[in-house]
């Protein structure tokens, strides 16, 4: 196994935030666990869609920027689809008007749960194979994009940023679509594209020195926007 400390450290970086949210928040209600699993599935479908587009459009394969935009678009759409499914379920349950069965959920906890599942699956996809390879190989992989930092650490930091953004994007999706402010989905699209587009800098040797800090800037901005929007909501209500 590659340096155990390295593997454990990277694993903790990636999975501890999302796992803590899952264990301490999501598991409080079984419905939230179901929503989290749905969120994970939604990410996989978004990934499938992106792959299909990549396979279909030959020339597009050569242009990373275009594929980034298409991939982000698929994810934005899938988040919206997930919200739609959640909303329809909500309507069905409420319309049943059952004396015992009621909808104990709310948008904040539901969006957190969906975002947790979505982010966890996103982290596994970014990071899982590299982490697994480290368990059977004593070698540590270094990439030209970051010659002084093991790839597993670079990907862990990247995955951490994107899982935090996934939580925020899902919360914003629920918020905007509940308020029927569909055009504000463009904000999510722009922020996600910015973060994903910054990863293209990794094509350059030692590009991680630029891409990682900038991605974290976008992440912080995303989280701040999310908090501001939800606070605005509370004040309005």
Partner 1 sequence: MLPRARQASIALTLLVGVIIPFSALTEYDGIHLGKGLLKEVTQAPCVRLFSSQGTVGCRTRSREGATAPLYYLSGFGEDDQHEYMNLEEGVAVVMPASMLNSTVLEFLKAQSPARTRGVIVLEESKDMAADFERDSVSPDVSTPQGDGTPSAAFTVGPDHAWNPRGSGLLNQKHDFPVVLASVDGDSTGVGAAQVKAWAQHNGGLRRAGPLPRYKAKFDFYFGPDSPSTRAESDLTSADCLSWRDVAGNPAPQCLPIGGQSVWGTFGGRTGLQTKPSVLLTTAMDGLSFFHERTPAANEAVASILTLLAATSALKNASRAGALDLDAAPYNLAVAFFQADEWGFAGSRRFARDISPGGVDCPATVPDNSSRDGSGACVGSDGVYPSMAFKDLAEKGFVHVLAVDQVGVLGTGGQAGSLPLTALYDKTPPTAVLDAIDRAAASMAPSQAVMVTSLDGSGALPPSPFTSFARGTPALSGAILTGYGETFIDPRYHSHEDTAAVLDPTALSSVAALVARAFWKLAAGPGEGAASAAELEAIGVEPAFVSDLLDCLTRDWDCPAMKAFRDSEISNLKDYLQMSYLYTPPVPRPPTYYAGVLAPYQGLPLVQHLDKSSHAEGVDTGIYAAWPAGQVFPVGAHDKAYVVPKPLEAFLRAWLGHTLGQGGEDAPVACQGPSDCSDLTCDAGLSTRECVLDACVCRTAAFYHTALDPGLAPLPEPGLFAVSDPAAPNWAEPNWEDIGLAVFPDAGSRMEATALGVGVGVAALSVVGALVLQRSLIKHHYFD
Measured from the CB of residue 100, what is the shortest distance to partner 1 in angstroms?
16
Nearer to partner 1, 80 or 126 (CB): 126
Structure tokens at 223: 């989280």
Tokens of 132: 């697994």
Kindly list the residues in this chain that would bind partner 1 in the complex (CB under 8 A).
Answer: 2-6, 8-13, 16-17, 19-30, 33, 36-37, 40, 104, 106, 108-109, 120-121, 124, 128-130, 132-133, 135-143, 147-151, 153, 156, 160
Residue 203: Cβ within 10 Å count? 11
Contact predicate 80/173, CB 8 Å: yes
Q: How far is the CB of 174 from partner 1 (least distance, A)?
A: 13
**Residue given tokens 């504000």 in the structure block:** 184
Instruction: From residue 50, give the alpha-carbon distance in Å to each of 45, 77, 160, 209.
Output: 9, 11, 22, 27
Choice between 97 and 234, CB closer to partner 1? 234
* Residue 162 or 193 having the CB closest to partner 1: 162
C-beta closer to partner 1: residue 38 or 89: 38
147 SS3 class: strand
* Pick 14 or 67: Cβ nearer partner 1: 14
User: Minimal distance in Å, beta carbon 13 to partner 1?
Assistant: 5
Q: At its nearest, how many Å lie between partner 1 and the CB of residue 99?
A: 18
Minimum distance, C-beta of residue 121 to partner 1, in the bound complex (Å): 7
53, 143 Cβ separation under 8 angstroms: no
Residue 194: is it exposed, middle or buried by C-beta count within 10 angstroms (0-12/13-18/19+)? middle
Query: How many contiguous H segments (helices) and E segments (strands) does the chain have?
Result: 8, 2
């Amino acid at each position: 196994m590659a340096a155990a400390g390295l593997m454990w450290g990277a694993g903790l970086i990636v999975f501890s935030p999302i796992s803590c949210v899952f264990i301490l928040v999501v598991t409080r209600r079984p419905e939230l666990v179901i929503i989290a699993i749905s969120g994970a599935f939604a990410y996989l479908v978004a990934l499938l869609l992106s792959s299909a587009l990549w396979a279909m459009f030959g020339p597009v394969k050569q242009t990373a920027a275009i594929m980034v935009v298409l991939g982000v678009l698929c994810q934005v759409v899938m988040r919206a689809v997930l919200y739609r499914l959640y909303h329809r379920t909500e309507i069905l349950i409420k319309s049943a008007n059952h004396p015992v069965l009621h909808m104990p959920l709310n948008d904040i906890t539901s969006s957190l749960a969906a975002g947790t599942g979505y982010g966890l699956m996103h982290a596994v996809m970014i990071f899982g194979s590299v982490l697994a390879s480290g368990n059977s190989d004593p070698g540590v992989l270094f990439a030209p994009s970051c010659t002084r930092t093991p790839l597993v650490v670079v990907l862990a930091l990247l995955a951490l940023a994107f899982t935090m953004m996934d939580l925020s994007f899902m919360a914003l999706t629920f918020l905007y679509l509940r308020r029927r402010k569909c055009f504000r989905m463009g904000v999510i699209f722009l922020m996600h594209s910015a973060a994903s587009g910054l990863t293209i800098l990794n094509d350059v040797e030692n590009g991680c020195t630029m891409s990682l800090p900038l991605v974290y800037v976008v992440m912080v901005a995303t989280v701040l926007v999310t908090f501001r929007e939800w606070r605005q909501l509370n004040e309005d209500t």
